[in-house]
Chains A and B, each alone.
Chain A
Amino acid sequence: MSVLEKVRPGRPATAVAREPRVTDEHGRRVRAGELVWRYLLLLAVLALTVGPFLWQLSTSLKGPTEDIYGSPPRFLPGHPTLHNYARVADTIPVWDYALNSLKVAAANVVTNCAGSALAGYALARLRYRGRRVTTLVFVLAMLVPVEGIVIAQFTTMRELGLNNTLIGVVLPGAIGAMNVLLMRNAFRNLPYEIEEAAYVDGANVWQRFLRVALPSVKGTLAVVAIFAFMGAWDDFLWPLIVLSDPSKFTLTIGLNYLHGTFANDERLVAAGTVIAVAPLIALFACLQRYFFRGVGEGAVKG
């Protein structure tokens, strides 16, 4: 997704023109009038996108005596306080829930990276009877909508005695078929000659996989890792079905519980949602290009 990564400076370093010169991606000048309405529209969309998040943040920082319902509304808290964050921790074990979410997300990253790299490598590089059938299995699995099988997944978990455990939350998505196919394509796009050279040098299949092939697909592996983390951290339907004991809740289920039980305390719910969304926004801010690359490579994820 090179479109996103290449940023041309508005003013080329060589130009010493007095008037600031803004050029588009083809180096052609953008007229001032067009520039003005473009920025106006951008700011309007910006307000619509960020506004709701900021309003939530602002609500979470307003003290118990401050009016949050007033009309016209007050956008900034008069006396910002972290009191609501302490209160939300008194009401539900929000930090335990965050830890549960973190455990689930971390496990999901490890299993998806390891499992899909291994299987992807087998599908792309190893020759064995049944390779085509294996590929077909993953393609079919990718097409099955999760919403159509959650009930059966739940009964399967009960049969295994894993319902109401964090392992039960992780397992169904532990090695996504989609990720296996992504890794397979990444391995297939590597030039074969490098591995042949390693083979001639006497490297066995493990060494070729770990030392030669895997380091060359780090980018795709990063995409798999990030989407595995985000998918697990954000998931709602499956944990809602498989977890029933409030002490095992993940953050999303805990928030739903908080909302259902203390719906009238908007400051509290706001503080809870800020806790849930902040880590992901931070992650996104640091690793943007992998997020965008993930959309490009796996446009079928949604």
Chain B
Amino acid sequence: MAAPLRIKRQLPFGPWLFAAPGLLVTGAFVLYPFGSTLANSFTDRRTLVPGHFVGLANFRELLHDEMFWTGLRNSVLYILGVVPALVVLPLLLALLVRKNIPGITFFRSVFYTPVVASIVVVGLIWVWLLDERGLVNSLLESVGIGRIGFLSDQWLLLLSAMAVTVWKGLGYYMIIYMAALANVPRELHEAAAVDGAGPVRRFLSVTVPAVRSTMVLVAALSSVAAFKVFSEVYLMAGPSGGPAGEDTTLVMLVQRTGTGLTGRVGYACALSVVVFAVTVVLMLLVLRADRREES
């Protein structure tokens, strides 16, 4: 066939009219705020007070702000706690629901349900489950372990929030893995089985290498999401971030610092710049790890 026709019969500015609504929204509510975040991070702007240029003062203040280091620590810990679980567990789950045995579509759908539910609903469900007098503690007591203060200890709280993130994310990454597993040639498995490799061996030397690039994708997606964690910790630890604010994450700090009538917009924007920079670095790190393993 000939090259695509040159389409002349169109209104003047037609293409721009098509793209205009999208460009307008993206420009006004994503790109402009992004630029203004960068610009404001060098000012002492407050919610009701237009700011002045203060150079790097906000960033210098960050270095001495204990709350900032607490937030950074918690967000990094969140990556370390959540990402390995979200790379491995959904893969195992995908293997479990892969065979088309009777009723399997029901199981697949139900395993996805936590993804559909709002994080607020999920957070509140677990706040009640892990409550001092909640179901988990009732069960623990009735088997003789005794009650555990999941939501009152600084570290247990963070761990519980991580568990909730993993619980909510399992189904989502399971679906991603299922698509990847569908492309693993069956002959590889059969050959390995003939050679006498057991299920564990076959998983490690056939399945894992075959879905390696998907594992990298999942690691990238889940680490970026984990670093930006807000809702789970906000709901479980409360707006002030648990005992003495020790469970505050970086995005919680951004929200707490920058909103309200006395919000320190400039300083919150400097914190946002850090969130953004770490996100970019994380993506680059994961991509680089991927390339290095390939070569």
Contact = CB atoms under 8 A, between A and B. Distances in A.
B63 interface: no
A205 interface: yes
A20 B30 CA distance: 58
A53 B29 contact: no
Nearest to B181: A3
A216 interface: no
Contacts, number: 314
A156 interface: yes
B179 interface: yes
Contact of B116 (A4, A199, A281): A281
Interface string B237-273: 0110000000000010011001100010100110011
A179 to B, nearest CB: 9
A38 B118 CA distance: 30
Interface stretch (A76-84, A88-96, A126-134, A217-225): A126-134
B101 A10 contact: yes
A234 B120 CA distance: 8
Contact of B96 (A41, A151, A281): A41
Interface in A248-296: 251-252, 255-256, 259-260, 266, 269-270, 272-273, 276-277, 280-281, 283-285, 288, 291-292, 295-296
A288 to B, nearest CB: 6
A17 interface: no
Contacts of B102: 10, 22
Interface string B36-47: 110010000101
A42 B124 contact: no
A148 interface: yes
Interface string B268-281: 11001101100100
Interface in A103-155: 111, 114-116, 118-119, 121-123, 126-128, 130-131, 134, 137-138, 140-141, 144-145, 147-155
B78 interface: no
Contact of B124 (A71, A196, A255): A255
Contact of A149 (B34, B217, B221, B222): B34
Nearest to A192: B4
B138 A71 contact: yes
B276 A196 contact: no
A177 B30 CA distance: 9
Interface in B91-148: 93, 96-102, 104-105, 107-114, 116-121, 124-129, 131, 133-135, 137-139, 141-142
Nearest to A280: B116
Nearest to A58: B135
A126 B22 contact: no
B228 A145 contact: yes
Contacts of A296: 175-176, 179
Interface in A163-222: 171-172, 174-175, 177, 180, 192-193, 196, 199, 202, 204-205, 209
A53 B125 contact: yes
B1 A193 contact: yes
B228 A175 contact: no
- Sorting the interface of chain B by its residue count into under 10, 10 to 19, 20 to 34 or 35 or more gives 35 or more
A147 B228 contact: yes
Given A148-B272, A196-B5, A3 B255 contact: no
Interface string B194-234: 00000000000000000000000100011011001011000
- Sorting the interface of chain A by its residue count into under 10, 10 to 19, 20 to 34 or 35 or more gives 35 or more
Given A38-B101, A49-B110, A151-B269, A119 B230 contact: no
A52 B16 contact: no
A134 B142 contact: no
A119 B23 contact: yes
A123 B26 CA distance: 15
A119 B117 contact: no
A56 interface: yes
Contact of A42 (B45, B97, B221, B279): B97
B25 interface: yes
B289 interface: no
9 contacts: A35-B101, A49-B167, A50-B110, A50-B113, A128-B15, A154-B259, A174-B25, A234-B118, A237-B255
Interface of B: 1, 4-7, 9-11, 14-16, 18-19, 21-23, 25-34, 36-37, 40, 45, 47, 93, 96-102, 104-105, 107-114, 116-121, 124-129, 131, 133-135, 137-139, 141-142, 167, 169-172, 175-176, 178-179, 181-182, 186, 217, 221-222, 224-225, 228, 230-231, 235, 238-239, 251, 254-255, 258-259, 263, 265, 268-269, 272-273, 275-276, 279
Interface of A: 1-4, 6-8, 10, 22-26, 30, 35, 38-39, 41-42, 45-46, 48-50, 52-53, 55-56, 59, 69-73, 111, 114-116, 118-119, 121-123, 126-128, 130-131, 134, 137-138, 140-141, 144-145, 147-156, 158, 171-172, 174-175, 177, 180, 192-193, 196, 199, 202, 204-205, 209, 230, 233-234, 236-237, 240-241, 251-252, 255-256, 259-260, 266, 269-270, 272-273, 276-277, 280-281, 283-285, 288, 291-292, 295-296, 299-300, 302
Given A2-B182, A7-B104, A151-B272, 4 more contacts: A22-B102, A147-B275, A152-B36, A155-B33
